[in-house]
Every structure is written in structure tokens, then in C-alpha cells.
Amino acid sequence: MSSADATADAARRPFTGRRVRFGDLVLQLVAGAAALGATVLVGLIAWELVHGARPALSKYGLGFVTRIAWNPVLGHELYGAGSFIFGTAITSAFALLLAAPLALGAALFLTELSPQVIKAPVTALVETLAAVPSVLIGLWGIYVLGPILRDHVEPALHSTLGFIPIFGEPGAGSSIFTAIVVLAIMILPIVASISRELFLGVPHELKEGALALGTTRWEMVRGVVFPYARGGIAAALILGLGRAMGEAIAVTQVIGGGVFIHWSIFDGGDTLASKIAASYQGATSQLFSSSLIYLGLILLVMSLLANIAAQWIVRRVARKHGVTRGGHA
């Protein structure tokens, strides 16, 4: 913790030896209870999910995680998360691959190249993309994006890169590919806005020093900005990945559905989140619903891991660069 933190804290409590009033105690207790509740909430969420998944947990154990099956036929019920974990991994990873260069490029534009006049409006617009509800992006994906991809992009990709198995025969409008594009659109603003703040935090002296040495702007970015912001960019990417993994509605609208893992991304499939959203209302047995909750539990673990990793990186980078919590460059 930096010295600025310590001073601020001391200033908040200037009379450490003073008499504690009853009102102080009450407020501290009530507020503390709220804070405690919020803290406990995450653990409670995990606990309740374990509780809800119990029938499936006791029946399948950890084998559920790797099994590729989803058979709701009564009498032959068999459930497994394998294909959905794969679907989540593939869609999120490819979405990040698609969105990251665009997001970083936009962030660079906003910090280095943009004329002052349009800086604020463009920033606002890029970040507003994050506010568009996922159900609308999904609706748009079904009726606008899907047909465009199916009729123009997929045949083009198949004819030029068809020798690579992931670019198979063009399918219906709803496919893993459409889901990847939709997810990329959704995580673009998050990665862009975090990166933008990171790039703004790079000390001017470092950047100007590089330019004074005769570098071009791009060389300065490559040599100063990126290395300095490296940790933060990693955190931004991981946060974007976590967001993509957790998206249920837009994905279930455009992904087409399917239990088996196909090579081609133009086929349908499902992710953990999209399977839950699609099947929950129609669950026909307790084993079915608890298996869906088990999927939710796996999703929670995956997104918690991504989130904790990102937050840890953010805090480590902030400490390294001497930024106090709540301060912005």
C-alpha cells in the first residue's frame, strides 16, 4: 500500500482515541453487515449451485465434466458437460481472437491518434456498444447477421480455406461461427475501454522520451506503451474472455444447438450457458434439471477463475505502477 493510501486513511479517522458514539456503532454494524452480506454472496452462490446440482453430482461425479453426451430420453437418461465445455472454450477463444486486435486498435486510436474534438464522443459511442442488451444482439444475429454470414461469408471462407477442417460446408444461419461473431461484438467494448484507460496511464515522460529518440509513433507504442500496459492488457483480455464465456442469451439465439462436437465451425453446437438457457424450461426430470445446474456450476468455476486471475493481475500492475485505488490518470 502506498503512502498516499495511508495518509488518506489517517485523515478519515483523525481522532482515533475519541469516544465511540452509539450511533457510530450502529452505522458501522449495519453497513458492515451489508458489506459482509455482499462478500458472503459469492460463496453462497457457489453453495446453492452445488446444492441444486446434488442429484447429478452424486450420480455422475466428476466424470460428468468430460463425458460427451446429452440424452434426455426417459429411461435412457445420460448427461455430460464435455461438448458444452468445448463449445464454451471454442466460442470464447475465437471471439477474443477476433475482438482483441479491433479493441486494441480502437483504444490506440483514442489515446494516440484521435483529434481532440471527436475523442469524447467516439469514446462514449464505443463504450455504449457495451450497453446494448444481449437479447437484441441475438435478435439481430438471427435475422440480419446470420443470413449474411450464411449466404456470403461462409461460402467464401469454405471455398478459399475449405482445406482446413474448421471451415466446412456452409450451414444454416445459426452456427458456432455466428455465435463467435456475436460474442466478439459483445466483448469488443469491454476490452477497448479497459485498454484505453491503460494506455492513458502510461507516463508521458516515457512516451515523449521515446519519441525524442526519433522513433515513429508506432515504434513508440510497440516499445513503450505495450510493454508498460502489458499486464493490464492481459487482464482486459481475460475479463473479455470471462464475459464471453458467461453469455447465454445471445449465444443460444444464434448458435443452432447440438450435442456432438463437429470440426466445422459452420455447424451448430452449444456452450454451457446457451445449453442452460435453451433447456431449462423444458426439463422433464429432476436429473435433467440438476444436470443443467451442474453445467451452471462448471460455468461459475470457469468464470470465477478468469475473473480472479484478471483482478489479481490488475491489482499487481496497479501496485507496480503506484496507482492508488479509485484514482484515474
Partner 1 sequence: MSAHDLTGPNLRLDRLPRRRRVNRLMEVLAWLSASVAIAILGILVFSVARRGWSELNLGLLTKAPIPFSLTNAPQGLANAFAGSLVIVGIAALMALPIGILVAVYLNEFAPPSIRNGIGLVIDILAGVPAIVIGIFVFVLLVVGSGQNALKGSVALGILMLPFVARATIEVLTLVPNSLREASLGLGIPQWRTTLSIVLPRAIGGIVTGTVLAVARVAGETAPLLFTSSLVGPQINWNPLQPLQTIPVAIFELSESPDPKDHARAWAAGFVLLLFILFASLTSRWLATRNARRIAGR
Partner 2 sequence: MPKCGSFTRITATALAAVALAGVVAAGAGASPAKRAGTTISGAGSTFVSPLVAQWISPIGSAYGYQLQYSAVGSGAGIAQITARTVDFGASDAPLTPDQVTACNGCVQIPWALGGTSIMYNLPGVKNLLHMDGPTLAQIFLGQITTWDDAAIKKLNPGVSLPSTKITVAHRSDGSGTTYNLVDYLSSVSPTWKSQVGVGTAVNWPTGVGGRGSSGVSAIVSSTEGAIGYADVAFALQNHLKYFAMKNNSGKFTTPGSRGILAAASSDQKADANNAYSIVNPPKKFPEAYPISTFTYVIVPLQSSKAPDLKKFLFWAVTTGQKGPYTAKLRFVPLPKSVLVVAEKAIAKIHS
Sites for partner 1 among residues 261-320 (CB under 8 A):
273, 276-277, 280-281, 292-293, 296, 299-300, 303-304, 306-308, 310-311, 315
Residue 329 binds partner 1 (CB under 8 A): no
How would DSSP label each residue in 174-237? Answer: -SHHHHHHHHHHHHHHHHHHHHHHHHHTS-HHHHHHHHHTT--HHHHIIIIIHHHHHHHHHHHH
CB 245 within 8 A of CB 299: yes
Residue 49 binds partner 1 (CB under 8 A): yes
Cell of 170: 456452409
Question: Residue 70 forms beta bridges with which residues?
Answer: 79
Q: Report in angstroms how near the CB of residue 160 gets to partner 1 at its nearest.
A: 21
Among 264, 279, 290, 303, binds partner 2 (CB under 8 A): 279
Residue 162 binds partner 2 (CB under 8 A): no
Q: Report in angstroms how near the CB of residue 123 gets to partner 1 at its nearest.
A: 9
Residue 28 binds partner 2 (CB under 8 A): no
Q: Which among 188, 192, 195 is positioned nearest to 229, based on CA atoms?
A: 195
Identity of the residue, 82 or 268, whose beta carbon is nearer to partner 2 in the bound complex: 268
Map the footprint of partner 2 across residues 282-321, applying CB under 8 A. 282-285, 288-289
Among 4, 41, 200, 329, binds partner 1 (CB under 8 A): 41
Residue 74 binds partner 2 (CB under 8 A): yes
The helix (H) or strand (E) run that includes residue 145 is: none
Residue 202 binds partner 1 (CB under 8 A): no
Q: Report in angstroms how near the CB of residue 54 gets to partner 1 at its nearest.
A: 10
Map the footprint of partner 1 across residues 141-200, applying CB under 8 A. 142-144, 185, 188-189, 192
Q: How many residues are there in the chain? A: 329
CB 232 within 8 A of CB 320: no
* 2, interface contact from partner 2, partner 1, none, CB < 5-8 Å by kind: none
Q: CB under 8 A: which stretch of 59-67, 72-80, 161-169, 206-214 binds partner 1?
A: 206-214
Residue 75 binds partner 2 (CB under 8 A): yes
Rg (CA), the chain: 24
Cell of 115: 483529434
CA–CA dist 109, 104 (Å, integer): 8
CA–CA dist 112, 97 (Å, integer): 23
Residues 6 or more apart from 202 whose CB is under 8 A from it? 224, 225, 228, 229
Residue 129 binds partner 1 (CB under 8 A): yes
Q: Which among 58, 269, 307 is positioned nearest to 180, based on CA atoms?
A: 269
Residue 72 binds partner 2 (CB under 8 A): yes
CB 254 within 8 A of CB 274: no
Map the footprint of partner 2 across residues 216-275, applying CB under 8 A. 257
* 284, interface contact from partner 1, partner 2, none, CB < 5-8 Å by kind: partner 2
Residue 109 binds partner 1 (CB under 8 A): yes
CA–CA dist 265, 285 (Å, integer): 31
Cell of 299: 460455468
Pattern 167-196, partner 2, x by CB under 8 A: -----x------------------------
Tell me how many residues contact partner 1 (CB under 8 A).
113
Residue 27 binds partner 1 (CB under 8 A): yes
Per CB under 8 A, residues contacting partner 2 are 71-76, 172, 257, 278-279, 281-285, 288-289
